Amino acid sequence: MTFVDFPSASPVTIDIKTRFIADDTRVYLVFPGPGYRYFQTMQNESVVFLNLPGFPIAALERLPDREAVIRGIVVSDRVREWHKSGAEADKEPERQIDKITDFRRTKWREQFAAIISNFFSQPRKGDIFIVPGPNEDSPVLFGEIVDETDPFIEVDSLLAGEKIFARKVKWVREVQRRAIPRWLDKKIPSPNPVRQVERDKLPHIFDLMYERYYYDGHFVVKFETTSREFNALDNYLINQVFLYVAALHEHLHDASIGDVANRPIWEVVSGITFSEDIPEQRLIIQSPGYIALDARNIIPLVVGVFMTLSSATAASQTQPTPPTIVNTIDDSEPDSNFNSDWLLPSPAFA
């Protein structure tokens, strides 16, 4: 969350930088080729692809024609073997799929054809690809598909003169492989070049990727610990802030707290009674770690705004005007389940 502008007695703008994630968003784990040979290419060129050098565009243009895709696999297999044997010009294999007739329709090719078809037709803008690095010290890449109108991007393969068709992505986050959840690391390596991550695991992926997001009716805001030491007193103080905002939310409904502006935080917090106003927490202990607030109301997001504005107020020692909230990383609309009864209460900034 960024404090954008805070001159004395001037309007205040706070950038909440919150990603609104569609409920039907899908997440895919893509293995970057045998021996992780294409990891650097994927990282540097912001693409993901399957290891199919020489795969003909005609097969992709006929999706979902499974027969055309199988013949495209045959072309790629023969191109690969041709390069291994020296790539003599007079022995170049046939590349037109309509002329491919003498081939074995194996179970592996059937399965791979299904993977290819899904890879190029199923993921849409906003879906997420994860690409693992080769060891625990290398990064794991987390990225979003940025365009679904032209999915067939060409990149160079490791075979001279051969292209591979890819999906364009925007890398959002890199996390050291040693820091990813154990369940995710166990999926690496995989016998399948592409695997879809289970829906119940998606919040954990979003926790890694975003500081703030809204998904499946939940607001989640992550507060990272900036110090290697995070003790019980630190945890108590930050939880006082969390509970204070929850108490303000409750006060909006029943005015049960009284004169909020002139009461200390601990006294306001002690008056909270609505358990649904208290966000759930996920505490990740690393070096550094983070606390993720998760709630079916906007309280986690307001906590972030509150802390940002409080820091700015303390630094400038001035009284801010009511803030203007902007969101520069996401211009999409929340889904139909989005509902907020929260209006920033003036006592929170008094």
The rounded distance, in Å, linking the Cα atoms of 109 and 112 is 5
For residue 101, how many other CB atoms are within 10 A of its CB? 8
Alpha helices in the chain (DSSP H): 39-45, 57-61, 66-84, 107-121, 182-185, 202-209, 232-254, 265-270, 299-316
Q: What does the pLDDT look like over 193-246, one tens digit per residue?
A: 999 999 999 999 998 898 888 888 777 877 666 555 555 556 666 666 666 666
Q: What does the pLDDT look like over 61-81, one tens digit per residue?
A: 888 899 999 999 999 999 999
Higher pLDDT, 30 or 151: 30
The rounded distance, in Å, linking the Cα atoms of 323 and 338 is 22
Higher pLDDT, 138 or 272: 138
CB 56 within 8 A of CB 40: no
Q: What does the pLDDT look like over 259-316, one tens digit per residue?
A: 666 677 666 666 666 555 555 656 554 545 556 666 665 666 666 665 565 555 555 5
Tokens representing 61 are 């243009």
Taking the whole predicted model, whether its pTM rises above 0.85 is answered as no
Q: Where are the domains of the chain?
A: 2-21+218-349, 27-196
The rounded distance, in Å, linking the Cα atoms of 43 and 107 is 32
